[in-house]
Structures are given as structure tokens and as C-alpha cells.
Amino acid sequence: MDVYISSAQQPQGLVGTLQEDGTGGPSGDCNKVESSLRSLQTFVPADYASYTQEHYQFAGKTIVIQESIESYGAVVWPGATALCQYLEEHTEELNLQDAKILEIGAGPGLVSIVASILGAQVTATDLPDVLGNLQYNLLKNTLKRTAHLPEVKELVWGEHLEQNFPKSAFYYDYVLASDVVYHHYFLDKLLATMVHLSQPGTVVLWANKFRFSTDYEFLDKFKQVFDTTLLAEYPESSVKLFKGLLKWD
Ligand SMILES: C[S@@+](CC[C@H](N)C(=O)[O-])C[C@H]1O[C@@H](n2cnc3c(N)ncnc32)[C@H](O)[C@@H]1O
């Protein structure tokens, strides 16, 4: 099964306009910002009826996410809301202020947005097709709200990792991942990516809805290479949140 459906298309058709507090609504004096957001948009659903603006409350803010059911990477998954809840409830303990964070499979960006609002320096990554929508959501929700504007970068699991994210140049305090494990063919590459991005001290926070036997098989492999702690469970959504520290033996 391929993991995404949409293909990159011309910028067009954004829904809503940007307010200074990032909540959307009728256009005011933000035309400049909106036009720069338009130019960043590359993911466009074929069926405009599938576009929605979903509202989330985290870190004391309303976060508006442009979602489309046409792509796995354009919908907020349950692992993302669980991870956001954990981040906002443990901000000080996790020392998120100015922390360097990379999110893999960021999708529409909710986790990266919340981490940015909580003070972290965030790089949100995903497959090329969803980066436009990701960038749009990030800018819309973090402009004038964060100390560090989040970045967006392409990261295809297992591909050109040392070339694009050389260990000598990139260090992350946290690697975040929500609902990146499901029924797809890239699980070994996903694990290799988590390993590559981990250096001494890097903490992987992986939240996932557990549905399939393959999810538990991935967890077994994860535990072989990471010292693993179950940080939280969300029974209402079957999401488990794990902390992983790469084993260095
Ligand atoms: C189920 S969605 C989860 C999105 C988001 N993390 C969330 O929880 O709302 C899985 C994400 O992984 C990304 N993805 C899937 N296969 C990938 C690959 N081979 N390389 C990089 N990203 C991939 C998809 O584009 C998508 O954004």
C-alpha cells in the first residue's frame, strides 16, 4: 500500500484567510502574509469538498489546521493529539524552551505547531507531496506566536539521511513521531531514520495508535535498539506514547 495519494500541484485554492492570532477568518490587513502562504502551498486536494479547517486547543491557543481526507499526511491522527497533550502537560519537565526538535512524518503539522508554541526550535519533515500544506499550517499558526519559527524540510524515511541530515551538523534534543507506524512497507526505513537522528542525549517520543500486529512487531524492533519507556497510555484512542533512548553498546 502506498502511503499517500495526492500529487504536487500548482498553488491554488487555499481556504480562509489569516488573522494575526492565526485563527483564520475574514481578510484584514494580512494580504501580504496570505500571499506568501499561497506561494508555499503545493498540496491541493482534487476534491475541494474534502478540505476542512479543524480547530484544536493546545498550549493556551486555538490552532487551526487545514486538513483533507485525500491524504494520510493531511489529516491529524490520534497519536498527534495525544503527543500534544503530553507536551503541554510536561513542558517544563521536558525542558522544551529552545530545545531542538525534529518531527518525522509531521503530516498537517499539529505536533510541530504545539512544540513551537511551547518554545522549541522545530524542524517539521515529511514526504514532498504534503510539505505545502504542512508549511501553510505551520506559518498560519506560529507567526507572531513563537520565539522560533518552525522550519519545514523533506525527509523520506531511510533516504539520503547522512547527506541531508549529517550527524556532524545536526543534533536534536527530541525526535517526535506520531502515528508513523501503520500498515505500510517502510517500517525498517522508519526505524533506521529514528536511529540515524539519535545521538547521545536525543530522546525519541513516539506516540502511536496500536491497531495491527505489525504495530507490535515494530515496537519489538524499536525496543531492541532503544531503551524504551512507556510514558503514557490513552485508552480512549488506543494510543501509547513511548520514550526511546538509543542503546550505545
Ligand atoms: C498517519 S500519518 C500521521 C501524520 C501526523 N504525524 C499525525 O499524527 O497527525 C503518517 C505520516 O507519515 C508520512 N510518511 C509516510 N511514509 C513516509 C515515508 N516513507 N517517508 C516520510 N514520511 C512518510 C505521511 O506522509 C504522513 O504524514
Q: What is the pLDDT of residues 239-249, one digit of tens each?
A: 999 999 999 87
Mean pLDDT of the chain: 85
Query: What is the distance between the alpha carbons of residues 117 and 112, in angstroms, rounded to a whole number?
Result: 9
Angle (nearest 5°) at CA 186 between 183 and 188: 110
Out of 32-41, 91-100, 236-245, least confident range: 32-41
- H helix or E strand, kind and range, residue 217: helix 213-225
Query: 183 pLDDT band (50/70/90 cuts)?
Result: confident
Mutate to test the pocket of ligand 1, among 2, 3, 185 (most ligand atoms within 8 A of CB): 3
Residue 40 CA: distances (Å) to CA of 58, 130, 218, 224: 25, 11, 34, 40
Q: CB within 6 Å of ligand 1 — which residues?
A: 3-4, 72-73, 76-77, 79-80, 105-107, 126-127, 130, 156-157, 178-180, 182, 184, 186
Q: Strands 61-68 and 51-58, how do they pair? A: antiparallel
Contact by Cβ (8 Å): 179, 207:
yes
Nine-digit cell string for 25 = 477568518
Q: How far is the CA of 71 from the centre of ligand 1 (A)?
A: 10
Residue 77 CA: distances (Å) to CA of 106, 179, 209: 10, 7, 9
Closest Cα to atom 12 of ligand 1: 105
Give per-residue pLDDT as tens, 137-157: 999 999 999 999 999 999 999
Query: What is the distance between the alpha carbons of residues 154 and 213, in angstroms, rounded to a whole number?
Result: 29
Residue 19 CA: distances (Å) to CA of 95, 188, 221: 30, 42, 45
Out of 72-76, 100-104, 123-127, least confident range: 72-76
Ligand 1 atom with the smallest distance to the CA of 80 is 8
Q: Quick one: which of 158, 150, 148, 146 has its CA closest to 124?
A: 150
pLDDT at 112 > cutoff 50:
yes
Give the chain's domains with CATH numbers: 31-246 (3.40.50.150)
Contact by Cβ (8 Å): 125, 106:
yes
Instruction: Give the pLDDT confidence score for residue 47 in this predicted structure.
Output: 58
Q: Quick one: which of 226, 234, 127, 128 has its CA closest to 180?
A: 127
pLDDT at 13 > cutoff 50:
no
Ligand 1 atom with the smallest distance to the CA of 207 is 8
Q: Quick one: which of 2, 47, 9 has its CA closest to 131?
A: 9
Instruction: Give the pLDDT confidence score for residue 159 in this predicted structure.
Output: 97
Q: How far is the CA of 32 from the centre of ligand 1 (A)?
A: 30
Amino acid at 192: A
Q: How far is the CA of 199 from the centre of ligand 1 (A)?
A: 22
